[in-house]
Structure 1
Amino acid sequence: MKITVEHAAFAAAVTYVSRALPARPPVPVLAGLRLDANNGRLRVSGYDYEVSTDTSVAATVTKKGRALVSGRLLSDIVSRIHGDVHLELKGPRLVLRAGAARFTLHTLPFSEYPAFPEPGSPAGTLPGPAFAEAVAQVVCAVSKDDTLPFLTGIQLHHDQKAGTLTLAATDRYRFAVRTIPWKNCDLTADHTALAPGKALLDAVKTAAADTTVDLTLAGVAGADSLFAVRGEHSTTTLRALDGALPTFKNLFPTKFHHTATVNTAALKAAVQRVALVASKDSPVRLTFTHDNTLRLEAGTSDESQAIDTVESPLEGDELTVAFNAVYLLDGLNALTADTVDFHFVTPTKPALLRGHDTDDQALQYLLMPVRLNG
């Protein structure tokens, strides 16, 4: 193998694939990053039995070939070099040159490297930017607790009648749901599957700039337990998680007694200020009043305290509710709307946050309040 590749493109490909490599690989070769040069392109790929990543960049291929090298080491190297990258395989060593820098890397044995999984046929096509945005919006509600693996996933549900794909995630304290239409869908019935949340987010980030993305849903004919996200020059497969999320339609209220509208940027800034004195046992308290004022408080009389206010028109009776500050900020950031509506049934029941004047397909963020003493 002997090739020359532009640095920025090579660095982006290596970074993308290396992000999915296991920190503690079950076998040493799975820490490797695979390089395949042929037909004017360099293919960069990795696999850890759960996730496979595959992307390619344009390259000047003087001699085709392949090499398997340490992904972490190569990622560190490409982040610190400049200029076009020259790669040449010399026996069991890969020589990398860029500018005045030269590295000689040990290669790993291809004979021990497992075969990549074969992704099934695409179930449909999605706009790359819209799909990436939808995943980024719901991933904030994915659980970080690995003791319940199904809560670390994003559920994807195909609605055959509506021709839509609904993404949902929850950690039991909040529920994020977003729906997007998709084209050329080849499914004939409703279908639901659970994808690993972080891995799906990494996959769609790479394809976010692509006009369209092909998506294979795990569990459909020919796909077995694999999701596949295919962009213009990248493919990621993800092994589905077992289990299913709660039926969220039964959790989201449809009738409300209180509705408040707040400027998102102003509210985020106020929450961040008062949250400086908040703790797990002292959440941020929000009081909505009839004089179009939202009063935010945190802390106690025995500790530090903070108070701030923002404008907020209210429909319904005045109320006071408390939220975990981090969860509230996550929802406000995910909504990406200039103005947010808070819908309440009672101060002790989950509140629904959504962008002002948005439709039912836009992000809906259901947030559990923190019960206040007294």
Structure 2
Amino acid sequence: MKIRVNRDVLAEAVAWAARVLPSRPASPVLSGLLLEAGDDLSLSAFDYDVSARAEVDADVSEAGRVLIPGRLLAEISRSLPDDDVVIVTEGQEAVLTCGSAEFGLVTMPVEDFPAMPSMPPAIGAIGGGVFASAVGQVAPSASRDDTLPMLTGIRVDVEGETVTMAATDRYRIAARDFAWRPVSPDVAVSAMVPARVLVEVARSLRGGEVRVALGDGVAGFESVGRSTTVRLLDEQFIDYRGRLTSQWSIRADVRVGPFLAAIKRVALVAERNTAIRLSFSQGQVLIQAGGGDVGRGAEVVECELRGDDIQIAFQSQFLIDGLSGIETELARINLESPTRPALIQDVPGDAGPDFRYLVMSLRLA
């Protein structure tokens, strides 16, 4: 194999593919990146659960395949001088030259690398910006505890032209609705996708349109010459829709920017896992925290309250995560009592809210 490729193009593609490399591979070859040169250059990584493949323009003098230690290649690629990169296979080495720099990397046996999974059938497409926004809103509510795999995923429910993403860690539920272009107008499918994979996909596939594929226990995402597949989790999930449609007797509308900034300031004196207290009254909300060994903080923000005055408390980061997901100027906080969860949502238009975030309250001291 002999290729010439732009340094920045190579470094970006290697970094993107290498993100799925396992930290503790079950087999040594799974720590490698597979480079395949044909009409262009493709770079692939696979750990049996997640695959990543990037295709880039390259000047191919001699076609071929080579398996190179992925993390080492990523470190080298981003540190090369500003010049084209030439990669040539010579025996058991892949010789990489860039300007005056040269590296001889010991290759791994290509024949031992597992066959990459094929992309399942496409079911629709969505703009990369909308996709990234939706994932960013719901992913913070997914659990990091692998003992309950169901809670580490993002539920994706597709019904015709509407997609809903939802996640929960038992203490909050986040859900986001958005429109997309389905392949079939009557498509109706559900899947549980590992949240960490969706976050990586959303972070890297912002450009252009994201094509979504689903089938045989695998989800696939393609955009701008890059593709990812992931093995799905068990479809079991809570009835999140029923929990997001309660009736509320108290409603407070606040401007997101000032409210979120005030909470972050007051939270500086909140000790770990202690509460942020919100006291809603006509025309304002008082934000309070602390009072222990560190100190205390308080700030008042304007709000429009409908219903009775109420005082309620939340874990500070949970509250920040929910408000950070609001993309409208105003956030609506729906309340019932100090001991019941609260529903944070964007101020709905004619079609209702796109983002909803149900968060448990804490006992007031």
Could you say which TM-score interval applies, normalised by the shorter chain? over 0.9
C-alpha deviation, 1:356, in angstroms: 2.5
Could you say what secondary structure the match of 1:81 adopts?
coil
Could you say what secondary structure the match of 2:158 adopts?
strand
Could you say what secondary structure the match of 2:265 adopts?
helix
Residue of structure 2 equivalent to 1:186: 184
Residue of structure 2 equivalent to 1:197: 195
C-alpha deviation, 1:255, in angstroms: 2.1
Residue of structure 2 equivalent to 1:48: 47
Q: 1:14 to 1:120 in 2, by over 3 A?
A: same
Structure-to-structure mapping, 1:1-374, within 5 angstroms:
1-39=1-39, 41-83=40-82, 84-160=84-160, 163-186=161-184, 188=186, 190-210=188-208, 212-217=209-214, 223-290=215-282, 292-300=283-291, 303-358=294-349, 359-360=351-352, 362-373=354-365
Could you say what secondary structure the match of 1:208 adopts?
coil
Q: 1:370 to 1:180 in 2, by over 3 A?
A: same
Instruction: Give the AA of the match of 1:367.
Output: V
C-alpha deviation, 1:279, in angstroms: 2.6
User: Identity percentage over the alignment?
Assistant: 35
Distance 1:273 1:140 in 2: 21
Could you say what secondary structure the match of 1:346 adopts?
coil
Distance 2:321 2:21 in 1: 27
Residue of structure 2 equivalent to 1:220: none
Q: Is residue 159–residue 186 contact of structure 2 (8 Å, CA) maintained in 1?
A: no
Q: Is residue 155–residue 244 contact of structure 1 (8 Å, CA) maintained in 2?
A: no
Could you say what secondary structure the match of 1:150 adopts?
helix
| Structure 2 residues without counterparts, runs of 5 or longer | none
Distance 1:12 1:6 in 2: 10
1:103-148 CA-partner distances (Å, limit 9, x unpaired): 1111111121110111211012222221122112111111111111
Distance 2:23 2:53 in 1: 18
Q: Is residue 337–residue 355 contact of structure 1 (8 Å, CA) maintained in 2?
A: yes
Could you say what secondary structure the match of 2:120 adopts?
coil
Instruction: Give the AA of the match of 1:87.
Output: I
1:68-123 CA-partner distances (Å, limit 9, x unpaired): 11111111112212322221111111111223322111111112111011121101
C-alpha deviation, 1:26, in angstroms: 0.5
Q: Is residue 280–residue 324 contact of structure 1 (8 Å, CA) maintained in 2?
A: no
Could you say what secondary structure the match of 1:123 adopts?
strand
Could you say what secondary structure the match of 2:104 adopts?
strand
Q: 1:361 to 1:235 in 2, by over 3 A?
A: farther
Moved more, 78-87 or 48-57: 78-87
Distance 2:86 2:189 in 1: 47
| Structure 1 residues without counterparts, runs of 5 or longer | 218-222
Q: Is residue 123–residue 187 contact of structure 1 (8 Å, CA) maintained in 2?
A: no
TM-score, L = length of structure 1? 0.93
Instruction: Give the AA of the match of 1:216.
Output: A
Q: Is residue 37–residue 66 contact of structure 1 (8 Å, CA) maintained in 2?
A: yes
Instruction: Give the AA of the match of 2:124.
Output: G
Instruction: Give the AA of the match of 1:231.
Output: S
Q: 1:264 to 1:361 in 2, by over 3 A?
A: closer
Distance 1:196 1:280 in 2: 28
RMSD (Å) for aligned C-alpha atoms: 1.7
1:243-262 CA-partner distances (Å, limit 9, x unpaired): 42201121113421111122
Could you say what secondary structure the match of 1:369 adopts?
coil
1:182-202 CA-partner distances (Å, limit 9, x unpaired): 214337553211000111121
Instruction: Give the AA of the match of 1:68.
Output: L
C-alpha deviation, 1:265, in angstroms: 1.7
Distance 1:206 1:280 in 2: 32
Distance 1:167 1:281 in 2: 27
Q: Is residue 207–residue 224 contact of structure 2 (8 Å, CA) maintained in 1?
A: no
Distance 1:44 1:360 in 2: 43
Distance 2:317 2:213 in 1: 33
